[in-house]
Amino acid sequence: MTPQPNDPTQVGSEPPRDEGDGLRLSRPEIQALGTKAARGAGYAWGQAEEAGWAAGWLARAGLPGAAILLDVLKAQPLAPPAPAPGHWKAKGPQCPLCTGLALQDHAGLPEGPGPSSVLVDSVIWPVFLMPFVARAAAALGAPLEMAWADVRVTLPADGAMPTLEDPASVRAPEQATVRITVPDPKEAVAPIAPAAKDNTGAGFEGVITLETWQKLDTLAMCTTVTSSIESRVRAGAQESDND
């Protein structure tokens, strides 16, 4: 038997090719890369999976989800959230992944988003909270409005993607205090998208720079193991494939 009939002796992954306007990733690729990168950055698997999902969600909303996730992962170490009714006070800049997950988990509890508003102190890259607040809205069955800096976004109750008038301004603030409320129906700032889910792929933002890809990939590669010869051989058939 030939253990390695065709070993490319290649380690790691190759970047997707640049098509002239940056690299173009599909949503599942952003999600998979994001998950591995978050795990590589030290988050638990259960958190990392949701970090990857959130990056894909942001891309679906027309935002550079992979780049935002990288910003979040680079900003470590950050303070964990301290949920309390009405006001989540911070001991330092808060991690938007842990805070987002806590907001989602606490939906319907006294500390969480619900009928009374929640003020979350200084969160790094508050845009990253959006996917989790969207889930909280779906869990509550009520739209939730997020406001930070000069941004106001409504996350619909049916899990639909929000309509973002100006994605760049949503993306911009590096750190802000965020208020989450159930909006007055008469004052909803953004029209609620009509479809329950945007399945057309329109508005998807999959372009990332080579530098972003490389940094996320470097983190992702921290989750991989250099193979032993034994495991490499055992992963395949015990005979030649030339039969």
Partner 1 sequence: MSCAPQSPMPQAAAYRRGPDEVMRLSRMGCAHPTRLSFLRQMLRRLRREGWRFDRPVWDFDARGVGRAVYRAIGPERTYSLVAFGHDLPDEMRSDRVIATAWDATFTLFDGTPTHHDLDRLAANVPLQEAGRISPRELSLSRANKSVRLFKHVVERLAQGQQPDAGALAETGYLMRTTAVYGSGKFGAADREVVAARPEMRAPFQAEMLSVWLTRAFTVDLVEHLARVRGGGAAARLDPALKRGLGVGNSTGLGMAPFLVRHPVLLNNWMMAREEALARVRAQAGAAPGAIKGFCTALAEARRNAAEWHSAHPVQKDKLEDLRIGLDVAASYVERQWDSAGAHPWDALWRWVQTYLPVEAQEALLAAMIEPHGDLVDGLTACMDADEEAAMSIDGTMSVAALRKLLARNYHWALAQAYDTPEGAARFWYVSEEKLEPRLGERATEEGAEKELPLDIGRQAAALNAALDGVDGDMPVARFLLAHPEHRHVLRRVQIAARYPFSEIRDNLIGAELLPIDMLRCKLAFFGATRFDPRSDRWVRISLFQGAPYPSDLAREAPQ
Q: Minimum distance between the CB of residue 220 and partner 1, rounded to whole angstroms?
A: 9
**Containing H/E element for 207?**
strand 207-208
Provide CB contacts within 8 A for 117, sequence distance 6+.
86, 179, 180, 181, 182
Residues numbered 141-200 forming contacts with partner 1, rule: CB under 8 A: 159, 199-200
Among 24, 87, 152, 179, binds partner 1 (CB under 8 A): 24
What CA–CA distances, in Å, run from 235 to 1, 2, 36, 192, 228?
14, 13, 22, 50, 11
Interface with partner 1 by CB under 8 A: which range of 65-73, 85-93, 95-103, 160-168? 95-103
Q: How many residues belong to the site for partner 1 (CB under 8 A)?
A: 69
Longest dimension (CA), the chain: 73
121-140 mask for partner 1 (x: CB under 8 A)?
Answer: --------------x--xx-
The rounded distance, in Å, linking the Cα atoms of 139 and 159 is: 9
The rounded distance, in Å, linking the Cα atoms of 183 and 78 is: 30
Residue number, 11 or 168, with CB nearest to partner 1: 11
Among 22, 87, 105, 179, binds partner 1 (CB under 8 A): 105
91 binds partner 1 (CB under 8 A): no
100 binds partner 1 (CB under 8 A): no
Among 81, 96, 126, 183, binds partner 1 (CB under 8 A): 81
DSSP state of 87: E
Phi, psi of 172, rounded to the nearest 5 degrees: -65, -50
Pairing of strands 87-88, 118-124: parallel
Residue number, 18 or 174, with CB nearest to partner 1: 18
Interface with partner 1 by CB under 8 A: which range of 122-130, 164-172, 207-215, 218-226? 218-226
108 binds partner 1 (CB under 8 A): yes
Q: How many CB atoms lie within 10 A of CB 118?
A: 23
Phi, psi of 148, rounded to the nearest 5 degrees: -150, 150
Interface with partner 1 by CB under 8 A: which range of 25-33, 115-123, 160-168, 180-188? 25-33
115 binds partner 1 (CB under 8 A): no
CB 108 within 8 A of CB 62: no
Query: Under the rule (CB under 8 A), what is the footprint of partner 1?
Result: 4-14, 16-17, 19, 24-29, 43-47, 49-50, 53, 80-81, 83, 98, 101-102, 104-109, 112, 135, 138-139, 159, 199-201, 204, 221-228, 230-232, 234-239, 241-243
